[in-house]
Structure 1
Amino acid sequence: MSAEPPLKPDWDQLYRVAEAQEGHFTTQQAAQAGYSPQLLAHYVRIGRASRIQRGIYRLVHFPAGEHEDLVAVWLWSEQMGTFSHQTALALYDLSDVLPARIHLTLPEAWKTRRLRVPKLVVLHFADLLDSERQWVGAVRVTTPSRTLDDCARGALTPDLMRQAALQALHRGMVRGSLPTVEEALKPFGGLNA
């Protein structure tokens, strides 16, 4: 793909980008497909696209996606964020956790950035290895093992932590022992209490 945007708007290119992101795209992605800010504003006015938040849009007639709220947050993070903690547990359907907030891990370097964090988003900062992340649908999520470690270090209740770890082991999502989880659960009777 060339660095120069096309001379005229390329709807097919914009659609392909949005299709991979549950119908969402950024102002920058639109520009790469040849859409000026003025043309994008026109598409919003005529109802072909809707503005989700600053710099993030959605194709109006694109079918609703399962994780649209997460895609918008991921695009807000400039595609650098990885969903983690309780959000990752919910995406993997591990335990009965129903997170009221979206947990997103950003690179450590983002700690110094002044961010206008979207409502209901909790930020964590860590330089994740590629081996600690994977795709779940249209979003990047910490692996089950990393997710369990993060939750064990966080504020997840012992019952939900135990349930998540046992489900992950039973379903073969993690292998071997879970030392961080076992240590966190030691005061509460251990993993198999």
Structure 2
Amino acid sequence: MVSDRMNSRAALWRVAAGQRGYFTAAQALRAGYSYQTQRYHARRGNWLAIDRALYRFREFSDLPAEGDEQLVRWSLWSKGSAVVSHATALAAHDLGTANPSRIHLTVPRGFRQKSDAVILHRAELAEPDVEDRAGYRVTTPLRALAEYAADGEDQDVLDGAVAEALEQGLVTRRKLLHAAQALGARAELGVERALGAML
């Protein structure tokens, strides 16, 4: 019995370690924890209850934060459907000064969950537009810049982010213009202004 508990913990720990300590009730169930046992661990404080059916090993909360733990949380909340995008992706890539008050996520059109903490954008993203990170996915710098331009938010933030992305060699002018054109006139205009501001 003790061996079974140790094996279950080890299995769940391996999953959670790749997700900054977070795990879902479904992942715990697959590792061998019944729902009753999950409630026990949450009540005892062994696991931190983050949201409905979302937990975190207490040990991970004591580690220094890396800044993007919350993005792992929202990826799990979406059951892996969401991709961090728009202003939040710019912040994840450390481009410009974007600091959104809510998390921007791109989800498939049929996605049903809602939360006041996130802004959902509905689109089907192509694999080349997405990067994998530890525990979550994020749109590439190229896609994030075009998305932010399409939102038409703060041109100064976009100007800075575009300048940094070009300086770091993350994008080219030609590819950036092409990506913006694919997202519409507002995105194209924002990117053209950002590129013009560099001259």
Q: CA contact under 8 A between 1:91 and 1:136: conserved in structure 2?
A: no
Alpha-carbon distance in 2 for matches of 1:173, 1:188:
15
Query: Which of 28, 51, 57 matches 2:26?
Result: 28
Query: Which of 3, 6, 12 matches 1:14?
Result: 12
Other-structure match for 1:122:
119
Alpha-carbon distance in 2 for matches of 1:184, 1:167:
16
Per the alignment, do residues 72 and 189 of structure 1 end up closer, same or farther by CA in structure 2, a change over 3 Å counting? closer
Listed as ranges, the matches of 1:145-160 within 5 Å are: 145-160=142-157
Question: 1:119 Cα deviation (Å)?
Answer: 2.9
Calculate percent identity across the aligned residue pairs: 37
Normalised to the residue count of structure 1, the TM-score between the two structures is 0.87
Structure 1: gaps of 5 or more residues: 1-7
Alpha-carbon distance in 2 for matches of 1:188, 1:47:
49
Per the alignment, do residues 158 and 11 of structure 1 end up closer, same or farther by CA in structure 2, a change over 3 Å counting? same
SS at match of 1:61: helix
Other-structure match for 1:97:
98
Q: CA contact under 8 A between 1:82 and 1:104: conserved in structure 2?
A: yes
Deviations 1:13-72 (A, max 9, x none): 100111111100000000000100110111112221011000100101123542222211
Structure 2: gaps of 5 or more residues: 181-186
Cα RMSD over matched residues?
2.1
Alpha-carbon distance in 2 for matches of 1:88, 1:44:
32
Alpha-carbon distance in 1 for matches of 2:12, 2:119:
30
Matched, 1:161 2:158: yes
Question: Aligned pairs, how many?
Answer: 183
Q: Please state which structure has a larger fraction of its residues in helix.
A: 2
Paired amino acid for 2:136: V
Per the alignment, do residues 188 and 86 of structure 1 end up closer, same or farther by CA in structure 2, a change over 3 Å counting? closer
Normalised to the residue count of structure 2, the TM-score between the two structures is 0.84
Deviations 1:102-122 (A, max 9, x none): 000001232xx3x2x233200
Other-structure match for 1:183:
189
